[in-house]
Structure 1
Amino acid sequence: MEEQYKNILKKQKIPILPLDQKWHRLFAVTEKSELVKDLEGQLNELLKRQGHLNGQTKELKKLKSTLMENIRINMDGASENAKHISKRKLEEDKRLIEEINEKIEAFQEELLELPREIDTVNRELMYESVQSCYDILQNNTEVIEEISHWIKQVRIDLKKNIIRKQNCEINSREIYSYMHDVLGAEIIELMDKEHENIKLSIPEDKREEKEETGG
């Protein structure tokens, strides 16, 4: 399966992952695995090397252009004032140009190889990122199922408690109504004062009667 996936992956156009903000957002909640971090580090080093070589090549070409211009100026002036031409300077400039050419050639050879290395590591990073993402998806699935079960149970408990609460309220009203009818408002008022912490849903007719008696 791994080999099959990697073969398919070779055909896909993949952005350079460390430069892709969407890729970084994949790990906004869950930290990158050690392997993903390692591959990302390797890729960043290759990209850094590529940028360095491009910059160095550009600077060397500028220096080479300057040296060649110096040689041209010295050679143009040789016939007019040969005694002022520094043969040593000409030879030094030529030597430097040869060194620059060698460095540029070496840099260009490495620059030709770097894209392949970058692509290889980038695709490996993509593969490991997908593996990590599926680990995250699996973990998310487990968390979602756990929370869904909790919500379901809470809803069941809520319904049960609502019914229980309603039953208690009905029972309390029936008890209060019975005692009120049998004992009368005066005694009930005294008992209410003694048990002020008791919460009662007093029937409307009993509440009116209680208010009339000054309770």
Structure 2
Amino acid sequence: MSREEDVYMPALLGKNIPIVTTDEKWKMLFGEEGVSDELQALADELNKLVDEQSRFKQKVKDIKRLKKTLLDEVIGISDRLNKGDKSAGKELDDRKRLIGDCNAQIEELEDQLIGLPREIYQLNYKVMVASMSVCYERLHRNTDEINEIDEWLSNTRKELKKQVIRLQEGEMENFNLYSYMHDIFGPEVIDIFDMEYDPERNHRIRTPGSGSIQT
């Protein structure tokens, strides 16, 4: 028994654990990776035992149904025998023999059914623990990735805020420089230099308070 099985078995003892492989969602637990060969082998063995148990139970029902029919026939044949029908004796013996065969088959099938529930429970438990192990491993892996992405987004937001502030500061500095240049050198001189440096295309200027950008 693995460590996981050894840990959880006492806690789950007596609990009603559904046959996990009969649920269509079971394979969806494993995503694109799919079920491992080892786990699939356990699942196949479990399904085989479950099918076997179902077949045995159905056989017992069928044989008991046949036995009831034979018992009903015995009553009718016995009445005929009591009324002097000698041919009914052989028929009665045949029915009794068949009933005996039914009893033997039922006993054999029920003996086989005795151990199956325990085998199915133990194997189903192994499949469940292995499945849970895979699921929690994926959960932990996904959580680590989520945390990494969240940290990246947080850092990116911080860096974005810094860059926005730098952008605004740069644009404001351009505005102040342009204002000072106009005040110091005058519009006519600045217009001459603007022809050379083409500020409308090359220099972003933010107007204070308006949030608008002049280019």
Q: Structure 1 length as normaliser, TM-score? A: 0.72
| Cα shift readout 1:79-133 (whole Å, capped 9, x = no counterpart) | 33616x4555444433332322222111101111101101211222233234323
Counterpart in 2 of 1:123? 125
Q: Does 1:12 align with 2:17?
A: no
For the 8 Å contact 2:46–2:124, the answer to whether it is kept is yes
Q: 2:200 aligns with which of 174, 195, 204?
A: 195
**Deviation, structure 1 residue 164:** 1.7
**Deviation, structure 1 residue 150:** 1.4
| Cα shift readout 1:18-63 (whole Å, capped 9, x = no counterpart) | 1786x94992757444333332332222222222222221121111
Query: Structure 1 runs of 4+ off > 6 angstroms?
Result: none
Counterpart in 1 of 2:112? 110
Q: Does 1:70 align with 2:70?
A: no
Between the two structures, name the one with larger relative contact order (CA 8 Å, sep ≥ 6): 1
Q: Does 1:51 align with 2:19?
A: no
The one-letter code sitting in structure 2 at the alignment partner of 1:38 is: A
- Distance (whole Å) between structure 1 residues aligned to residue 27 and residue 161 of structure 2: 40
- Residues 8-17 or 163-172, more deviating: 8-17
Identity %: 29
Q: 1:60 aligns with which of 48, 60, 63?
A: 63
User: Over aligned residue pairs, what C-alpha RMSD do you find?
Assistant: 3.9
Q: 1:36 aligns with which of 33, 36, 39?
A: 39
- Distance (whole Å) between structure 2 residues aligned to residue 129 and residue 195 of structure 1: 65
Task: Kindly tell me the number of residue pairs found equivalent between the two proteins.
Answer: 204
**Deviation, structure 1 residue 139:** 1.5
Q: Gapped runs of 5+ residues in structure 1?
A: 208-215
The one-letter code sitting in structure 1 at the alignment partner of 2:55 is: H
**CA shift in 2, pair 1:204/1:187, >3 Å:** farther
For the 8 Å contact 2:168–2:206, the answer to whether it is kept is no
Q: 1:101 aligns with which of 89, 94, 103?
A: 103
**Deviation, structure 1 residue 73:** 0.4
- Distance (whole Å) between structure 2 residues aligned to residue 123 and residue 10 of structure 1: 12
Q: Gapped runs of 5+ residues in structure 2?
A: none
**CA shift in 2, pair 1:8/1:180, >3 Å:** same
- Distance (whole Å) between structure 2 residues aligned to residue 165 and residue 7 of structure 1: 59
**CA shift in 2, pair 1:176/1:41, >3 Å:** farther
| Cα shift readout 1:143-175 (whole Å, capped 9, x = no counterpart) | 134223312321232122122222222123223
Q: 1:148 aligns with which of 122, 127, 150?
A: 150
- Distance (whole Å) between structure 1 residues aligned to residue 29 and residue 143 of structure 2: 16
Q: Secondary structure at the match of 1:16?
A: coil
